[in-house]
C-alpha cells in the first residue's frame, strides 16, 4: 500500500518538475520508424477514395466488356494496376508539395542564420512557422522532427538530409545534403547556400508551371478520349439494345473484347506517360 502511494506521488512530482517518463524498450525505435514512414503519408480517406475509384473501374470494365460476374476476379488485376497508377500520381503530387515546403524552409532558415542562429538551430527553430503555414502533419514538419530526433541521437544533419532526400526522391534535397556536408567541413556561408537552393527550386517550379499550362489542353483531350469509348458503347446500347449480345455470350466475343480492353489500357498508359513531363 505504502509502496504504491509512494510511486503515485513520485509520478506527480516528476510531472510537475517537467520530467517525462522514459520510453519503454523499442518504443523510441517505433517513434523513429513512424517518422520515416510518414514523410509522404497517404491518409485513410485518400486510400478509401483510391479503392472506391478502383472498384468503380472494375465494375465499369465488367459491364462494357464482359457483362459477366465470372470476369470480376481477373478484372481485379486491372483494378489493382489502376490503384497503383493513381497512388503514384498522388505521391507525385505530395512530392511536389514537399519540394515547395522545403523551399520555404530554406528561405526561413537562411533568415534565421542571418539573425545569428547556427544552421542546425535555424532549421529546428523554423518548426512553429512551418506548422502555422502548412500544418503539423505536413511533410516539412516531419522533416524538422526527424532533424530534431537525429540531433538528440548525435546524427549529423548532412546524413539526415541525405536520408530525407532519398526517402522523398527529391533531387534538390540530395544536392543540398552534399553541399551542406562540404560547407560544414569548410565553414562555408550556409545562408547563401540555402538562398541559392531556394532560388533553384523556385525556377524549377516556375518552369513546371509553364509546362503545365501548355499541357492543360492536352490533358483535357486525354480525359475526353479516355471517356469517349464508353460513351459510344453506352449510346449504341441505348439506341440498339442487344447489339453486342454476341460479344458477351460467346468465347470468340470474350476474346475479342479482351483484346480491345488491353488495347485501351495500353493507350491509357501511353497517354498518361506522354503528358507527365519531368524536368
Encode pLDDT of 109-161 as tens digits. Answer: 888 888 888 878 888 888 899 999 888 888 889 899 998 888 888 888 888 88
Per-residue pLDDT at 228: 92
Spatial distance between the Cα atoms of 177 and 192, rounded to a whole number of angstroms: 15
Q: Specify the pLDDT at position 198.
A: 77
Look at residue 120 in the predicted model and tell me its pLDDT.
Answer: 84
Most confident of 53-62, 101-110, 169-178, 243-252: 53-62
Q: Which of 22-31, 114-123, 267-276 has the lowest mean pLDDT?
A: 22-31
Q: In this predicted model, which residue has the larger pLDDT, 43 or 76? A: 76
Give yes or no for residue 272 having a pLDDT over 90.
Answer: no
Q: What confidence category does residue 188 fall into, taking pLDDT thresholds of 50, 70 and 90?
A: low
CA R_g for the chain: 27
Is 80 exceeded by the pLDDT of residue 187?
Answer: no
* pLDDT for the residue numbered 4: 41
Nearest to 138 by CA among 186, 104, 166, 107: 104
pLDDT at 231 > cutoff 70: yes
The predicted model scores a pTM of 0.73
Q: And the C-alpha cell for 254? A: 470474350
Query: Using 50, 70 and 90 to split pLDDT, how confident is the model at 261?
Result: very high
For residue 62, the model assigns a pLDDT of 92
Tell me, what's the pLDDT at 33? 42
Average pLDDT of every residue of the chain:
80
Q: Band of the pLDDT at 14, cuts 50, 70, 90? A: very low
* Distance (Å, whole) CA 120 – CA 125: 9
Amino acid at each position: 500500500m505504502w509502496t504504491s502511494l509512494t510511486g503515485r506521488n513520485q509520478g506527480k512530482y516528476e510531472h510537475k518538475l517537467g520530467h517525462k517518463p522514459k520510453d519503454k524498450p523499442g518504443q523510441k525505435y517505433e517513434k523513429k520508424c513512424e517518422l520515416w514512414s510518414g514523410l509522404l503519408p497517404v491518409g485513410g480517406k485518400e486510400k478509401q477514395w483510391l479503392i472506391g475509384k478502383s472498384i468503380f473501374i472494375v465494375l465499369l470494365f465488367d459491364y462494357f466488356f464482359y457483362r459477366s460476374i465470372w470476369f470480376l476476379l481477373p478484372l481485379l488485376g486491372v483494378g489493382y494496376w489502376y490503384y497503383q497508377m493513381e497512388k503514384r500520381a498522388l505521391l507525385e503530387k505530395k512530392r511536389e508539395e514537399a519540394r515547395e515546403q522545403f523551399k520555404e524552409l530554406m528561405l526561413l532558415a537562411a533568415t534565421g542564420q542571418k539573425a545569428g542562429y547556427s544552421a542546425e538551430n535555424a532549421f529546428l527553430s523554423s518548426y512553429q512557422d512551418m506548422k502555422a503555414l502548412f500544418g503539423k502533419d505536413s511533410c516539412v514538419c516531419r522533416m524538422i522532427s526527424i532533424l530534431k530526433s537525429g540531433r538528440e541521437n548525435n546524427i549529423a544533419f548532412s546524413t539526415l538530409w541525405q536520408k530525407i532526400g532519398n526517402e522523398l526522391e527529391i533531387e534538390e534535397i540530395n544536392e543540398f545534403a552534399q553541399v551542406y556536408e562540404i560547407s560544414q567541413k569548410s565553414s562555408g556561408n550556409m545562408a547563401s547556400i540555402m538562398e541559392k537552393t531556394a532560388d533553384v527550386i523556385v525556377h524549377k517550379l516556375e518552369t513546371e508551371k509553364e509546362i503545365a499550362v501548355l499541357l492543360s489542353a492536352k490533358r483535357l483531350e486525354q480525359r475526353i478520349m479516355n471517356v469517349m469509348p464508353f460513351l459510344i458503347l453506352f449510346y449504341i446500347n441505348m439506341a440498339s439494345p442487344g447489339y453486342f449480345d454476341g460479344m458477351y455470350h460467346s468465347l470468340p466475343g470474350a476474346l475479342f473484347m479482351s483484346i480491345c480492353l488491353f488495347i485501351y489500357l495500353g493507350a491509357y498508359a501511353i497517354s498518361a506517360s506522354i503528358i507527365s513531363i519531368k524536368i
